[in-house]
Homo-oligomer: A and B are copies of this chain.
Amino acid sequence: MSSDGGPEQGGERERAAGEAWRALYRLVFEREGQLRFHEACDATGLAPGGLKALLQLSADQPIPMRDLADFFRCDPSYVTSLVDGLEAAGLAERQSHPTDRRVKMVVLSRAGVEALGQARKILGEPPASFDALSTSELLRLRTLLAKLTEAEPPAGL
C-alpha cells in the first residue's frame, strides 16, 4: 500500500484499507468460502485437490500438465495423480501435444463440464449475509470490488 491521500489522510486510508481487507478475509477465507468449497467437493465427489484442478480446466482449451504444476506450485508428480483421479472419475482426458510429444494436455470431458458447472453454481452463490445490504449498496460493493480485481495481476493460467 502506498499512501496517496491528503497530508492528514494517510492514517485513515491505511486503517480503512486494513479493516476492509480483514473483513474480506474473514468473510471468505474463514467462513462462507470454506463452506462453499466443502459443499462443492461433496456435490462433485471430488477431493479438494481434484476440485481445484477441475476449476482450472475446460473442454475447449487443453492445458499442459506442466502448466498446472506451475500454477499450483506443486510437484509434477502430484499433477499426475490429480489427473489420474479426474480421468478415473470420467471428468477429464489426456491429449497429446500436436508438436511436442513430451507434453500431455488435459481437457474436460462432457461429464467434467457438467461437474464444473455444478461446482461453479455452488461456489458462486452469495451467502445469506448479503441480505443485509440494500440493492444500491450491493451495486456499489460490486463496483468497488470490480476495481480491485481489475487491478490484480493476471494470475490465471
Contact = CB atoms under 8 A, between A and B. Distances in A.
A125 B9 CA distance: 18
A39 B13 CA distance: 24
A130 B19 CA distance: 12
Contact of A149 (B17, B26, B125): B26
A131 B153 CA distance: 13
A27 interface: yes
A142 B4 contact: no
A145 interface: yes
A29 B28 CA distance: 7
Contacts of A145: 19-20, 23-24, 27, 141
A126 interface: yes
A140 to B, nearest CB: 7
A1 B127 CA distance: 7
A31 interface: yes
A12 B151 contact: no
A88 interface: no
Given A16-B141, A133-B144, 4 more contacts: A4-B135, A26-B149, A133-B148, A141-B141
